[in-house]
Amino acid sequence: MEEPPYVTIVLPCYNEQDHVIDEVERITTAMDSSGYTYELVAVDDCSTDETLARLKQAAPRFPHLRIRAFHRNGGSGTVRRIGTQEARGEIVVWTDADMSYPNERIPELVQLLDKDPSIDQVVGARTSEEGSHKLLRVPAKWMIRKIAEMLAGQKIPDLNSGLRAFRKSVARPYLRLLPPGFSCVTTITLSFLMNQHDVHYMPIGYAKRAGKSKFSFVSDAYRYILQVLRMIMYFNPLKVLMPPALWLVGIGIAKGLWDMVEHPFYFPANTVMIFLSGLLIGSVALLADLIVRSRGE
């Protein structure tokens, strides 16, 4: 029986016909010279161009290439989730097929995990932003990252890098949490951080992508923010709900004392509403925290 590879590289492919083979060649060249046994799983996400045909045509040249074809478009998160679930390797690498990430450095990410058992995930932290909508993306991503850092309680150099390597055994419980879109990378980062798994960041360059971007600024930025809040709520709801609850209770008490001075023994309806809103949110926070702690994960 064939021994399973040590590394599985999951490569989402959607309408990348002009450069997907160049990317496959770049990855296989790097891995062939690394000494690690590996498989490269190229998942065609129901492309409307010749991506799948070109992968199949080139497959005989790449013995470690395994092609998986979806019959409907599931999104990059779905590709990465299913690719990880079906991975045969102990170490799973996520990257993109758009020539933007330095995939020749994948062995370096694997080596960091291989040499240090205390590290569970290595993220390629980009040192520049070359994506579309740059003027809008840079401040938006900075704001989302700062919200995530505040709620997670630690510094996050790159929240949504598409290049990362992690231990499959550690990631397995969190795969069901991955959304279908781009925010899956944010989800896997926060899942590790919120559960005290050690995440190491390796600075990388980031090139202008080849082909047309699938990123939609408004909808995807909204999903990123929503997913950050959802993940913090899932793992530590007190971080999200308790601060506004305490503020509302404090404002309610302060306003109540002021009302007592202005109108003895009379509390306006808005004072009562502010105070009760704080109590209700605080009660929900404690209940949500109790549910989280009783999940047994």
- DSSP category for residue 207: P
137: confidence class by pLDDT, cuts 50, 70, 90: low
Cα–Cα distances in Å, from 68 out to 17, 83, 121, 194, 199?
15, 9, 25, 32, 29
- pLDDT tens profile 31-55: 999 999 999 999 999 999 999 999 9
Provide the CA 150 distance to its chain's centre, in angstroms: 17
pLDDT above 90 coverage of the chain, percent = 58
pLDDT at 133 over 60: no
pLDDT above 70 coverage of the chain, percent = 91
Domain-wise residue ranges, the chain: 7-235, 237-293
The pLDDT score that the predictor gives to residue 219 is: 65
Are the C-beta atoms of 33 and 64 separated by less than 8 Å? no
pLDDT at 144 over 90: no
pLDDT at 217 over 60: no
Closest CA to 172 of 76, 85, 293, 88: 85
Token pair of 174 as six digits? 């969190």
The Cα 66–Cα 59 span in angstroms is 8
- pLDDT tens profile 166-183: 999 999 999 998 888 768
291 versus 81: the higher-pLDDT residue is 81
Mean pLDDT of 199-225: 75
135: confidence class by pLDDT, cuts 50, 70, 90: low
Are the C-beta atoms of 256 and 293 separated by less than 8 Å? no
Thinking of the domain 7-235, which architecture would CATH place it in? Alpha-Beta Complex (3.90)
Instruction: Encode 60-95 in three state secondary structure.
Output: HHCCCEEEEECCCCCCHHHHHHHHHHCCCCCEEEEC
The pLDDT score that the predictor gives to residue 220 is: 64
Three-state DSSP class for residue 107: helix
Cα–Cα distances in Å, from 12 out to 93, 208, 294?
11, 18, 36
The Cα 6–Cα 8 span in angstroms is 7
The Cα 107–Cα 227 span in angstroms is 30
The pLDDT score that the predictor gives to residue 129 is: 64
What's the whole-number average pLDDT of the chain?
A: 88
The Cα 114–Cα 105 span in angstroms is 15
pLDDT at 94 over 90: yes
